[in-house]
Amino acid sequence: MRQPANDEASEDRKLLLDHRLQVRRLLLDRVLIGLLLVILGFVSSFLLEKYKAQSTQSQFFLEKRLGAASDIRAKLSKVTGAYFAASTAPCQGRPISPKEVQALRAVLAQLIEALNSSAILLATDYSNSANLVVNIFVGIAADPMAVPCESRQFVSELADYLTHLTRQQLGLADQLPWKGFVPVAMSIEEMDQIGAAEYFRRNLQAWRERRLAESPARAPK
Protein backbone atom coordinates (compact mmCIF):
# COMPACT_ATOMS: atom_id res chain seq x y z
CA MET A 1 0.00 0.00 0.00
CA ARG A 2 3.07 2.31 0.35
CA GLN A 3 4.10 1.82 -3.23
CA PRO A 4 2.31 4.94 -4.53
CA ALA A 5 4.13 7.14 -2.01
CA ASN A 6 7.44 5.73 -3.11
CA ASP A 7 6.52 6.36 -6.73
CA GLU A 8 5.60 9.94 -5.95
CA ALA A 9 8.89 10.51 -4.11
CA SER A 10 10.80 9.03 -7.00
CA GLU A 11 8.94 11.26 -9.41
CA ASP A 12 9.69 14.32 -7.26
CA ARG A 13 13.37 13.48 -7.20
CA LYS A 14 13.31 13.07 -10.95
CA LEU A 15 11.60 16.43 -11.43
CA LEU A 16 14.05 18.08 -9.05
CA LEU A 17 16.99 16.56 -10.93
CA ASP A 18 15.57 17.71 -14.27
CA HIS A 19 15.09 21.19 -12.85
CA ARG A 20 18.66 21.33 -11.61
CA LEU A 21 19.94 20.14 -14.99
CA GLN A 22 17.91 22.80 -16.77
CA VAL A 23 19.25 25.48 -14.41
CA ARG A 24 22.80 24.29 -15.08
CA ARG A 25 22.14 24.33 -18.82
CA LEU A 26 20.79 27.87 -18.57
CA LEU A 27 23.80 28.99 -16.58
CA LEU A 28 26.16 27.30 -19.02
CA ASP A 29 24.33 28.82 -21.98
CA ARG A 30 24.57 32.27 -20.40
CA VAL A 31 28.28 31.80 -19.76
CA LEU A 32 28.87 30.65 -23.34
CA ILE A 33 26.80 33.52 -24.73
CA GLY A 34 28.71 35.93 -22.52
CA LEU A 35 32.04 34.54 -23.73
CA LEU A 36 30.83 34.72 -27.32
CA LEU A 37 29.81 38.35 -26.88
CA VAL A 38 33.19 39.15 -25.33
CA ILE A 39 35.00 37.46 -28.23
CA LEU A 40 32.80 39.20 -30.81
CA GLY A 41 33.38 42.52 -29.07
CA PHE A 42 37.13 41.96 -29.07
CA VAL A 43 37.20 40.93 -32.73
CA SER A 44 34.97 43.85 -33.74
CA SER A 45 37.16 46.27 -31.81
CA PHE A 46 40.29 44.82 -33.40
CA LEU A 47 38.84 45.02 -36.90
CA LEU A 48 37.60 48.55 -36.31
CA GLU A 49 41.02 49.70 -35.10
CA LYS A 50 42.68 47.95 -38.03
CA TYR A 51 40.28 49.65 -40.44
CA LYS A 52 40.95 53.03 -38.82
CA ALA A 53 44.70 52.48 -39.08
CA GLN A 54 44.46 51.46 -42.73
CA SER A 55 42.16 54.40 -43.50
CA THR A 56 44.55 56.80 -41.81
CA GLN A 57 47.50 55.32 -43.69
CA SER A 58 45.64 55.48 -47.02
CA GLN A 59 44.57 59.05 -46.35
CA PHE A 60 48.12 60.03 -45.45
CA PHE A 61 49.50 58.39 -48.58
CA LEU A 62 46.83 60.02 -50.77
CA GLU A 63 47.62 63.45 -49.31
CA LYS A 64 51.33 62.92 -50.01
CA ARG A 65 50.57 61.87 -53.60
CA LEU A 66 48.31 64.86 -54.05
CA GLY A 67 51.00 67.18 -52.74
CA ALA A 68 53.62 65.64 -55.03
CA ALA A 69 51.34 65.83 -58.07
CA SER A 70 50.42 69.45 -57.33
CA ASP A 71 54.11 70.34 -57.00
CA ILE A 72 54.92 68.65 -60.32
CA ARG A 73 52.05 70.46 -62.03
CA ALA A 74 53.18 73.80 -60.62
CA LYS A 75 56.78 73.24 -61.74
CA LEU A 76 55.60 72.11 -65.18
CA SER A 77 53.63 75.34 -65.55
CA LYS A 78 56.79 77.29 -64.78
CA VAL A 79 58.73 75.32 -67.40
CA THR A 80 56.13 75.83 -70.12
CA GLY A 81 55.84 79.51 -69.16
CA ALA A 82 59.59 80.01 -69.49
CA TYR A 83 59.63 78.08 -72.75
CA PHE A 84 56.78 80.07 -74.32
CA ALA A 85 58.46 83.30 -73.26
CA ALA A 86 61.66 82.16 -74.96
CA SER A 87 59.97 80.69 -78.03
CA THR A 88 58.64 84.06 -79.13
CA ALA A 89 62.16 84.67 -80.41
CA PRO A 90 62.14 82.16 -83.31
CA CYS A 91 58.57 83.24 -84.11
CA GLN A 92 59.93 86.79 -84.48
CA GLY A 93 62.91 85.63 -86.51
CA ARG A 94 65.53 86.16 -83.81
CA PRO A 95 67.59 83.68 -81.73
CA ILE A 96 66.68 82.81 -78.18
CA SER A 97 68.80 84.89 -75.82
CA PRO A 98 71.16 83.36 -73.23
CA LYS A 99 69.06 84.98 -70.48
CA GLU A 100 65.94 83.20 -71.74
CA VAL A 101 67.79 79.88 -71.90
CA GLN A 102 69.07 80.41 -68.36
CA ALA A 103 65.53 81.07 -67.11
CA LEU A 104 64.32 77.88 -68.79
CA ARG A 105 67.11 75.82 -67.26
CA ALA A 106 66.40 77.19 -63.79
CA VAL A 107 62.73 76.17 -63.75
CA LEU A 108 63.58 72.89 -65.49
CA ALA A 109 65.88 72.03 -62.58
CA GLN A 110 62.94 72.63 -60.24
CA LEU A 111 60.75 70.25 -62.24
CA ILE A 112 63.44 67.57 -62.19
CA GLU A 113 63.79 67.95 -58.41
CA ALA A 114 60.01 67.64 -57.96
CA LEU A 115 59.92 64.45 -60.04
CA ASN A 116 62.85 62.93 -58.18
CA SER A 117 61.25 63.75 -54.82
CA SER A 118 57.97 62.09 -55.81
CA ALA A 119 59.50 58.94 -57.33
CA ILE A 120 58.66 56.84 -54.24
CA LEU A 121 55.03 58.02 -54.25
CA LEU A 122 54.14 57.69 -57.92
CA ALA A 123 54.21 54.71 -60.27
CA THR A 124 57.44 53.71 -62.01
CA ASP A 125 55.77 53.92 -65.44
CA TYR A 126 54.75 57.49 -64.66
CA SER A 127 58.30 58.44 -63.64
CA ASN A 128 59.72 56.90 -66.82
CA SER A 129 57.23 58.77 -69.04
CA ALA A 130 57.83 62.03 -67.17
CA ASN A 131 61.59 61.64 -67.62
CA LEU A 132 61.13 61.40 -71.38
CA VAL A 133 59.22 64.69 -71.36
CA VAL A 134 61.93 66.29 -69.21
CA ASN A 135 64.64 65.10 -71.58
CA ILE A 136 62.87 66.89 -74.44
CA PHE A 137 62.94 70.13 -72.46
CA VAL A 138 66.59 69.53 -71.63
CA GLY A 139 67.23 69.13 -75.36
CA ILE A 140 65.51 72.45 -76.06
CA ALA A 141 67.72 74.18 -73.49
CA ALA A 142 70.81 72.41 -74.83
CA ASP A 143 70.32 73.63 -78.41
CA PRO A 144 68.00 76.68 -78.42
CA MET A 145 69.06 77.58 -81.97
CA ALA A 146 67.31 74.42 -83.22
CA VAL A 147 63.95 75.45 -81.74
CA PRO A 148 61.46 76.44 -84.47
CA CYS A 149 58.35 78.54 -83.97
CA GLU A 150 56.06 75.54 -84.56
CA SER A 151 57.53 73.82 -81.51
CA ARG A 152 55.13 75.87 -79.38
CA GLN A 153 52.31 73.52 -80.37
CA PHE A 154 54.59 70.55 -79.82
CA VAL A 155 55.49 71.65 -76.28
CA SER A 156 51.87 72.46 -75.48
CA GLU A 157 50.88 68.90 -76.37
CA LEU A 158 53.74 67.52 -74.28
CA ALA A 159 52.53 69.55 -71.28
CA ASP A 160 48.99 68.22 -71.78
CA TYR A 161 50.38 64.69 -71.95
CA LEU A 162 52.30 64.98 -68.67
CA THR A 163 49.31 66.67 -67.00
CA HIS A 164 47.09 63.79 -68.12
CA LEU A 165 49.50 61.23 -66.66
CA THR A 166 49.76 63.18 -63.41
CA ARG A 167 45.99 63.32 -63.01
CA GLN A 168 45.80 59.59 -63.69
CA GLN A 169 48.10 58.99 -60.73
CA LEU A 170 45.43 60.53 -58.52
CA GLY A 171 42.51 58.80 -60.23
CA LEU A 172 41.26 62.15 -61.52
CA ALA A 173 41.65 61.52 -65.24
CA ASP A 174 39.97 59.18 -67.65
CA GLN A 175 41.77 55.83 -67.56
CA LEU A 176 41.52 55.52 -71.34
CA PRO A 177 44.89 55.66 -73.14
CA TRP A 178 46.24 59.05 -74.14
CA LYS A 179 45.41 59.71 -77.79
CA GLY A 180 47.83 62.55 -78.38
CA PHE A 181 51.56 62.54 -79.06
CA VAL A 182 53.71 60.31 -76.88
CA PRO A 183 57.50 60.84 -76.60
CA VAL A 184 59.71 58.41 -78.47
CA ALA A 185 60.59 55.46 -76.21
CA MET A 186 64.31 55.24 -75.53
CA SER A 187 66.53 53.63 -72.92
CA ILE A 188 68.88 55.62 -70.70
CA GLU A 189 71.86 54.16 -72.54
CA GLU A 190 70.50 55.27 -75.93
CA MET A 191 69.65 58.68 -74.51
CA ASP A 192 73.19 59.13 -73.21
CA GLN A 193 74.56 58.07 -76.57
CA ILE A 194 72.62 60.50 -78.77
CA GLY A 195 72.26 63.37 -76.27
CA ALA A 196 69.25 65.42 -75.19
CA ALA A 197 69.40 67.85 -78.13
CA GLU A 198 69.16 65.02 -80.65
CA TYR A 199 66.37 63.43 -78.63
CA PHE A 200 64.42 66.70 -78.87
CA ARG A 201 64.92 66.82 -82.65
CA ARG A 202 63.77 63.21 -83.07
CA ASN A 203 60.62 63.83 -81.05
CA LEU A 204 59.86 67.03 -82.92
CA GLN A 205 60.21 65.15 -86.20
CA ALA A 206 58.01 62.30 -84.92
CA TRP A 207 55.40 64.88 -83.86
CA ARG A 208 55.51 66.50 -87.32
CA GLU A 209 55.07 63.13 -89.05
CA ARG A 210 52.13 62.28 -86.81
CA ARG A 211 50.42 65.56 -87.58
CA LEU A 212 51.05 65.05 -91.29
CA ALA A 213 49.56 61.55 -91.14
CA GLU A 214 46.48 62.85 -89.35
CA SER A 215 46.03 65.92 -91.55
CA PRO A 216 43.84 64.24 -94.24
CA ALA A 217 41.39 63.13 -91.54
CA ARG A 218 41.34 66.63 -90.11
CA ALA A 219 40.92 68.38 -93.45
CA PRO A 220 37.38 69.73 -94.07
CA LYS A 221 35.37 67.88 -96.70
User: pLDDT: is 196 or 44 the higher one?
Assistant: 196
> In this structure, is residue 27 part of a structural domain?
no
Sequence-distant (≥ 6) Cβ neighbours of residue 74 within 8 angstroms:
none
Cα separation, 86 vs 97, whole angstroms: 8
> In this structure, is residue 171 part of a structural domain?
yes
The pLDDT value recorded for residue 220 is 45
Domain range for 189? 66-218
> In this structure, is residue 4 part of a structural domain?
no
User: Cα dihedral sign for 99, 100, 103, 109?
Assistant: negative
CB-CB contact of 140 with 104 (8 Å) = yes
Give the pLDDT band of residue 1 (cuts 50, 70, 90): very low
Q: Residue 154: name the closest of 215, 219, 104, 203 by CA.
A: 203
> In this structure, is residue 116 part of a structural domain?
yes
The pLDDT value recorded for residue 190 is 92
> In this structure, is residue 79 part of a structural domain?
yes
Cα separation, 9 vs 183, whole angstroms: 101
Give the pLDDT band of residue 219 (cuts 50, 70, 90): very low
> In this structure, is residue 22 part of a structural domain?
no
- Amino acid making up residue 52: K
- Asked whether residue 48 carries a pLDDT value surpassing 70, the answer given is no
- Where b means 16+ CB within 10 Å and e means fewer, 109-139 reads eebbebbeebeebbeeebbebbbbbbbbbbb
> In this structure, is residue 169 part of a structural domain?
yes
pLDDT in tens, 107-123: 999 999 999 988 888 88
Give the pLDDT band of residue 8 (cuts 50, 70, 90): low
The pLDDT value recorded for residue 175 is 65
> In this structure, is residue 13 part of a structural domain?
no
The pLDDT value recorded for residue 38 is 72
Interhelix angle 3-91/124-142, nearest 10 degrees: 10
Give the pLDDT band of residue 169 (cuts 50, 70, 90): confident
- Amino acid making up residue 216: P
- Least confidently predicted of 55-64, 83-92, 150-159, 174-183: 55-64
The pLDDT value recorded for residue 50 is 57
pLDDT in tens, 174-207: 667 788 999 999 988 998 999 999 999 999 999 9
If one counts the domains in the chain, the total is 1
Cα separation, 71 vs 51, whole angstroms: 30
Q: What is the CATH number of the domain that holds 192?
A: 1.20.120
219: helix, strand or coil: coil
Rg (CA), the chain: 37
Residue-averaged pLDDT of the chain = 81
User: pLDDT: is 19 or 36 the higher one?
Assistant: 36
